[in-house]
């Protein structure tokens, strides 16, 4: 039922799609939206242009300026083409790689983009079928290309698709190129898009690039001798219907593991994700089938990747023999603890190594790095910022790992984005190493807490869709800036970091310090006297505002784990109440 009159600007934009250079099927769907007595879908489809942000595009598929379709993909690709020809004007030939995931329309969008790049005189290397995001990053570097894109909406529900753009180092695009590309994309009108370029400008990539990628993946190994002895480790792996289905089992086999157990229902490649509501390894429901298979087979480790195989989720046995999910912060801790410990053992820490985490990731990473004499960097959310640190320290310092709380890790720098393929290979090795030493991954996690302190993290998000939702999220950030909480879970606020002003305010002393970041971001952080941390930020790709909560405690003995866990869980709940969540 129509609840209000449709704004004139939306009617004008919809009518432009009815009369402009759009295909007939698109026009028919726009006409249906205009004739529908309920104008909700019409408004949401046209109230804005789907923004090409610093991470590319992401949105619901359908007709309209605020939807993922061949025209919004086309405008993004034409704008990127225009900028590439400016940025690399000295090159005789510009080249790009294109990949896509399993989502509905991903192949269509990938082929549409290939035709547009080709029409602009750009050489295209298009993967023959779906491939993991990290392989697209790798291919750009391997082939010496100037850019690349992948069509994926990562772990979003099936209604979504997306478009991620990469630069010549295999990283997602950062300043100044990000804003320059956005400027070019915003100039593009439908009549400017050059569809259907010559096919001779398009080369297909397949198994040969897979082999080159996997040859690099296995270089992550620090304990090949242990894998030989623990090769029959029982590993359950699920791609959750996505691009990991082929290469991750191949990577595990190439590492030397012989007992990889599949989840047949989720090996089915499908953009409808038939066994899950959301194909996100962060969600317990997405891991349910894999855990059931692990219980059935008495497995040692459960691993899952999201649809474009850049995120990794794991489940491990606790001290009661029950499979429990490991959160993204814990996953980062396990990776970095192993990498640093093993490199020390092998004499591979030379003093110039460093790790990277995002500002919303557990502060225990800092403690692990400091106590082992390893430098660390804090960056904004997004692996493009981790890649930027690597680029700035190339040939000077050695990157040995970096990650973020949202289930992403990048073990080596031959890929410049989060990488579930290499991460799965390394996590399997870590499980083998623990088993070789008479430990489980759960006991290894306890060892970390015993040595560096206990940390409990939780991420809570609030979803607000559409135009009104975006405005509500914006107002929530305004309110937190004007009225920050005075205490959280009974502990007084000590520091407020505002990345929009790049100021760090110390509440108790009144001191204001600059924050060492190159650019601003719409992020707030609250630190308390007892070491708790809360980060608040609107998502850059989804209609959400996210709250990252971390509270601290001390674990003195393994048998105190459950008590400390329960205590910190209660404290997290108190923090959420204080935040009004």
pTM: 0.94
Q: Which runs of consecutive H residues, i.e. helices, occur in 287-363?
A: 288-297, 328-346
**pLDDT confidence of 91, banded at 50, 70, 90?**
very high
Please, are residues 418 and 396 in contact by the beta-carbon 8 Å criterion?
no
Check residues 256 and 461 and name the one with the higher pLDDT: 256
Q: Assess whether pLDDT exceeds 80 at residue 505.
A: yes
Check residue 1 and give its pLDDT: 41
- Pairing outcome for strands 544-553 and 408-410: unpaired
Q: How far apart are CA 428 and CA 261, in angstroms?
A: 13
The pLDDT of residue 53: 75
Write out pLDDT tens, residues 318-375: 999 999 999 999 999 999 999 999 999 999 999 999 999 999 999 999 999 999 999 9
* Residues 453-463 pLDDT 10s: 999 999 998 88
The rounded distance, in Å, linking the Cα atoms of 114 and 398 is 36
pLDDT digits (tens, 9 = 90+) for 369-383: 999 999 999 999 999
Confidence of residue 3 (pLDDT cuts 50, 70, 90): low
What is the pLDDT, as a whole number, of residue 52?
A: 82
Instruction: Assess whether pLDDT exceeds 90 at residue 465.
Output: no
Q: What's the whole-number average pLDDT of the chain? A: 95
Is the predicted pLDDT of residue 492 greater than 90, yes or no? yes
pLDDT level of residue 2 (50, 70, 90 thresholds): low
Domains and CATH numbers, the chain: 48-205 (3.40.120.10), 214-452 (3.40.120.10), 454-578 (3.30.310)
Confidence of residue 466 (pLDDT cuts 50, 70, 90): confident
Structure tokens at 132: 């993991």
pLDDT at 369: 97
CA distance 359 to 298: 37
Q: Please state whether beta strands 524-528 and 491-498 pair in parallel, antiparallel, or not at all (unpaired).
A: antiparallel
pLDDT in tens, 415-452: 999 999 999 999 999 999 999 999 999 999 999 999 99
Count of residues for the chain?
A: 581
For 94-107, write each residue's pLDDT tens digit.
Answer: 999 999 999 999 99
Distance set, CA 91 to CA 87, 96, 359, 416 (Å): 9, 13, 37, 23
Report pLDDT digits (tens) over 184-212.
999 999 999 999 999 999 999 999 999 99
DSSP 177-209: HHHHHHHHHHH--GGG------GGGEEEE-HHH
Is 282 within 8 Å of 420 (Cβ atoms)?
no
Cα–Cα distance, 3 to 1 (Å, whole number): 6
pLDDT-derived band at 175, boundaries 50, 70, 90: confident
Q: Note the pLDDT of residue 164.
A: 96
Residue 166, helix vs strand vs coil: strand
Task: Tell me: pLDDT of 11 over 70.
Answer: yes
Beta strands 491-498; 503-506: pairing state: antiparallel
What average pLDDT does range 253-263 have in this prediction?
98
**Would you please indicate which residues are annotated as catalytic (active-site) residues?**
154
Determine what percent of the chain is predicted with pLDDT higher than 90. 91
Q: Which residue has the higher pLDDT, 438 or 467?
A: 438
Residue 330 neighbours by CB distance under 10 Å: 22
pLDDT digits (tens, 9 = 90+) for 517-530: 999 999 999 999 99
Confidence (pLDDT) at 188: 96
| The pLDDT of residue 270 is above 50 | yes
């Amino acid at each position: 039922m129509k609840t209000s009159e449709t704004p004139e600007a939306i009617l004008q934009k919809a009518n432009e799609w009815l009369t402009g250079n759009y295909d007939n099927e698109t026009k028919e769907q726009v006409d249906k939206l205009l004739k529908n007595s309920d104008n909700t879908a019409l408004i949401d489809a046209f109230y804005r242009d789907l923004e090409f942000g610093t991470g590319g595009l992401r949105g619901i598929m359908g007709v309209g300026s605020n939807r993922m379709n061949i025209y919004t993909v086309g405008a993004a690709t034409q704008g990127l083409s225009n900028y590439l020809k400016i940025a690399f004007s000295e090159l005789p030939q510009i080249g790009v790689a294109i990949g896509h995931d399993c989502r509905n329309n991903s192949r269509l969008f990938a082929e549409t983009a290939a035709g547009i790049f080709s029409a602009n005189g750009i050489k295209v290397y298009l993967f023959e079928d779906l491939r993991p995001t990290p392989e697209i990053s790798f291919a750009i570097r391997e082939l010496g290309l100037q850019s690349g894109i992948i069509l994926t909406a990562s772990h979003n529900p099936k209604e979504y698709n997306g478009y991620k753009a990469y630069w010549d180092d295999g990283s997602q695009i950062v300043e100044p190129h990000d804003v320059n590309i956005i400027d070019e994309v915003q100039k593009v009108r439908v009549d400017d898009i050059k569809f259907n370029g010559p096919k001779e400008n398009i080369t297909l990539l397949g198994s040969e690039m897979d082999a080159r990628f996997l040859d690099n993946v296995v270089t992550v190994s620090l304990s090949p001798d242990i894998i030989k002895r623990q090769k029959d480790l029982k590993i359950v792996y699920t791609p959750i219907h996505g691009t990991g289905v082929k290469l991750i089992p191949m990577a595990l086999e190439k590492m030397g593991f012989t007992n990889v157990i599949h989840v047949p229902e989720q090996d089915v490649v499908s953009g409808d994700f038939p066994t899950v509501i959301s194909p996100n390894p962060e969600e317990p429901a997405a891991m349910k089938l894999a855990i059931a298979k692990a219980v059935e087979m008495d497995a040692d480790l459960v691993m899952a990747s999201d649809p474009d195989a850049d995120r990794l989720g794991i489940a491990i046995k606790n001290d009661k023999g029950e499979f429990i999910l490991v959160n993204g912060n814990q996953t980062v801790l396990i990776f970095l603890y192993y990498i640093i410990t093993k490199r020390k053992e092998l004499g591979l820490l030379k003093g110039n190594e460093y790790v990277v985490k995002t500002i919303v990731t557990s502060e225990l990473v800092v403690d692990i790095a400091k106590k082992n004499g390893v430098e660390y960097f804090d960056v904004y959310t997004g692996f493009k910022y981790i890649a930027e640190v690597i680029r700035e320290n190339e040939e000077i310092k050695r990157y040995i790992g970096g990650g973020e709380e949202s289930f992403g890790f990048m073990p080596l720098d031959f890929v410049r984005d989060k990488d579930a393929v290499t991460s799965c290979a390394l996590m399997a090795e870590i499980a083998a190493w623990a088993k070789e030493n008479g430990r489980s991954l759960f006991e290894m996690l306890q060892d970390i807490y015993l040595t560096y302190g206990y940390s409990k993290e939780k991420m809570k998000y609030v979803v607000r869709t559409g135009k009104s939702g975006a405005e509500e999220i914006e107002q929530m950030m305004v309110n937190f800036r004007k009225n920050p909480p005075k205490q959280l879970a009974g502990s007084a606020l000590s520091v407020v970091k505002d990345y929009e002003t790049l100021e760090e305010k110390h509440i108790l002393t009144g001191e204001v310090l600059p924050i060492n970041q190159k650019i601003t971001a719409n992020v707030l952080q609250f630190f308390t006297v007892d070491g708790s941390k809360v980060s608040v930020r609107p998502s850059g790709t989804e209609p959400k505002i996210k709250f990252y909560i971390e509270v601290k405690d001390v674990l003195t003995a393994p048998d105190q784990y459950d008590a400390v866990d329960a205590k910190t869980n209660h404290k997290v709940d108190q923090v959420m109440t204080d935040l009004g969540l």
